[in-house]
């Protein structure tokens, strides 16, 4: 069984994907980390993120790089959204994601194009969303809790810019697959959102 969880930043898709992985006993891949790892290598090697061929050259990295906590910063997320718009970068990361999805027993993957491109035949597809303001508030309180002084306006602006870039790119844009169930977490607690996701998944298997 393949479970595809897509949606924008801070929608709750990561938390939901991890909970589904535990509930169904399936391995989980956060595919955003792959693009973040590429972004980090671009930064570390001082490459120009707009030069597609240069970015493609750093797409072949070892799995252990995915465990680096530095991948989780907003800076890496922002740059990930720039490098992920290059078609050849997406192509370079495609087989890795498909192999993970197709392992015996199944898997849970979360990202932007899992239900549409990586695993179009997934048994369960969820598209998780929340309003931009609510996502900005979630991200803002997380950042504040870690000592950041960033304003809510700045966080909201960054979220809108990233949504725009991810939804407007020509290659594998972020969108809800025609056969995906929509889960709006705007007014749901984490627990309620997870319960709803488990219910939607169970109804589809
Ligand atoms: O989900 P996360 O915020 O970690 O993703 C970082 C960036 O990676 C996204 O903004 C998006 O540009 C890109 N991404 C993607 N396709 C995926 C997962 C992430 O393009 N399947």
Q: What confidence score (pLDDT) does residue 16 get?
A: 98
pLDDT higher than threshold 90 for residue 103? yes
Q: Is 17 exposed, middle or buried (0-12, 13-18, 19+ CB in 10 A)?
A: buried
**Residues of 154-171 as b/e, b for ≥16 C-beta within 10 angstroms?**
ebbebbeebbebbeebee
Q: State the chain's mean pLDDT as an integer.
A: 97
Is 11 annotated among the ligand-binding residues?
yes
Q: Mutation test of ligand 1: which of 32, 75, 85, 107 has the most ligand atoms closer than 8 Å to its C-beta?
A: 32
Which helix or strand (DSSP H or E) is residue 30 part of? strand 28-30
Q: Is 40 in the pocket of ligand 1 (CB under 6 A)?
A: no
53-69 pLDDT, tens digit per residue, is 999 999 999 999 999 99
Q: If you take atom 3 of ligand 1, which residue's CA is the nearest one?
A: 9
Nearest to 109 by CA among 173, 203, 117, 142: 117
Instruction: Kindly give the number of the ligand 1 atom that is closest to the alpha carbon of 113.
Output: 21
pLDDT higher than threshold 90 for residue 178? yes
**What residues contact 64, with CB distance under 8 A and at least 6 apart?**
none
Q: If you take atom 5 of ligand 1, which residue's CA is the nearest one?
A: 32
Q: If you take atom 13 of ligand 1, which residue's CA is the nearest one?
A: 81
Instruction: Kindly give the number of the ligand 1 atom that is closest to the alpha carbon of 76.
Output: 6
Q: Is 127 in the pocket of ligand 1 (CB under 6 A)?
A: no
Q: Is 49 in the pocket of ligand 1 (CB under 6 A)?
A: no
pTM of the model: 0.97
112-161 pLDDT, tens digit per residue, is 999 999 999 999 999 999 999 999 999 999 999 999 999 999 999 999 99
Query: How would residue 48 be classed by pLDDT, with cut points 50, 70 and 90?
Result: very high
Domains of the chain: 2-199 (3.40.50.300)
Q: Is 12 in the pocket of ligand 1 (CB under 6 A)?
A: no
Nearest to 7 by CA among 99, 134, 154, 142: 134
For the segment 37-63, the average pLDDT, to the nearest whole number, is 97
* Distances, alpha carbon 133 to alpha carbons 8, 104, 153, in Å: 12, 40, 9
Which helix or strand (DSSP H or E) is residue 183 part of? strand 181-184
Q: What confidence score (pLDDT) does residue 111 get?
A: 98
Report whether 17 contacts 30 (CB < 8 A): yes
Q: What confidence score (pLDDT) does residue 205 get?
A: 85
């Amino acid at each position: 069984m393949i479970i595809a969880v897509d949606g924008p930043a801070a929608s709750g898709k990561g938390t939901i994907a991890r909970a589904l992985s535990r509930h169904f006993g399936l391995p989980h891949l956060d595919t955003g980390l792959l693009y973040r790892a590429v972004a980090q290598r671009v930064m570390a090697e001082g490459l120009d993120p707009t030069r597609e061929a240069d970015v493609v050259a750093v797409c072949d990295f070892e799995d252990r790089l995915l465990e680096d906590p530095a991948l989780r910063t907003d800076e890496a997320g922002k740059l990930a959204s720039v490098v992920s718009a290059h078609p050849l970068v997406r192509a370079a990361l495609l087989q890795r994601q498909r192999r993970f999805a197709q392992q015996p027993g199944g898997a849970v993957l979360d990202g932007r194009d899992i239900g549409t491109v990586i695993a179009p035949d997934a048994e369960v597809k969820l598209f998780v969303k929340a309003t931009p303001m609510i996502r900005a508030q979630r991200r803002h309180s997380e950042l504040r809790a870690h000592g950041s002084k960033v304003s809510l306006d700045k966080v909201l602006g960054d979220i809108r810019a990233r949504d725009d870039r991810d939804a407007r790119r020509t290659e594998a844009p972020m969108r809800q697959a025609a056969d995906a169930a929509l889960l709006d977490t705007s007014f749901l607690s984490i627990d309620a959102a997870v319960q709803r996701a488990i219910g939607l998944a169970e109804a589809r298997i």
